[in-house]
Structure 1
Amino acid sequence: MRKRLAQLPVFVYTVAIFVGSSLPIGGQFNVLGKDKILHAIEFGLYAIAMNVAIVYSGNTKYVQGDIFYTILFSMFYAAFDEIHQGFVPLRDCSVYDFTADVIGIVIFITIYKLFNKMVKSRYVPIKIKNK
């Protein structure tokens, strides 16, 4: 149950990105790179959801290399998303968008893992002495 619950956010986010990328919207966000920032945030958050799904998957191969697999799987989906947009009217497949996606993935997952490490290092369980 916990495994499925951990996979739900990345599944929902995957569908949301696909649906959003399927809409024939022109470049109204393309003001001074604003769309690239949105790409980085979108796929940065996707990478965090992917990492949670991987860590709770129970597959030791993926869990041991969770950062590598998170970046790899997130990059594959970012590439798929860009290729998909090439077939949508008023959209295009852009290497610059993909680059922004990858930068967001790497930055967000790095910050997320460092934050987790910092929080875990400060956690000290209370020891109860038995009398």
Structure 2
Amino acid sequence: MKFKTFIFYWLPVLLYSGLIFYLSSLSKPIPDVLLVEFSYSDKLLHIIEYFILAFLVFRLLNFYKVSKAYLYAIILTVLYGITDEIHQLFVPGRFFSVYDIMANSIGALLVFANKYFYKKN
């Protein structure tokens, strides 16, 4: 693997997924400083967070010309979200949430929807 390929395609995925893991390892979640608090604002953060991850994974897979890169990006992102929720079972003060998995999955699926929106326009 070339160094440039690693820096531009692999490193963003590794750093971003590492950031997600780190944040979910905190006993107390970081307060929503940038968002106005409203019902389910944390779910919006999950959607955005996993949209970005799915996009980065898609970018990596697309670079390697993987057939159905969007589909694999969604699957990998959803699986990462599930394992992240399982990981939170072992973090004091955190818990497993099916609703978080749903929000993570919506974020990943929006990358696919984004593909079709821009393809039609």
Q: TM-score range by the shorter chain?
A: 0.7 to 0.9
Assess, with a 3 A threshold, how the Cα gap between structure 1 residues 26 and 15 changes in structure 2: closer, same or farther: closer
Task: Determine what percentage of the aligned residue pairs are the same residue.
Answer: 34
Query: Equivalences for 1:1-131 in 2 at 5 Å?
Result: 1=2, 2-4=4-6, 5-25=8-28, 31-56=38-63, 58=64, 60=65, 63-111=66-114, 113-114=115-116, 117=119
Task: Give me the TM-score of the superposition, normalised by structure 1.
Answer: 0.77
Segments ≥4 residues shifted beyond 2 Å: 26-31, 113-119
Task: Give me the TM-score of the superposition, normalised by structure 2.
Answer: 0.83
Assess, with a 3 A threshold, how the Cα gap between structure 1 residues 64 and 21 changes in structure 2: closer, same or farther: same
Structure 1, unmatched stretches of 5+, are 120-131
Letter in 2 for 1:14: S
Structure 2, unmatched stretches of 5+, are none
Q: Return the index of the structure with the highest Cα Rg.
A: 1
Tell me how many residue pairs correspond in the alignment: 114
CA RMSD of aligned residues (A): 2.2
Assess, with a 3 A threshold, how the Cα gap between structure 1 residues 100 and 89 changes in structure 2: closer, same or farther: same
Q: For residues 21 and 36 of structure 1, what CA distance do their matches in structure 2 show?
A: 14
Letter in 2 for 1:54: L
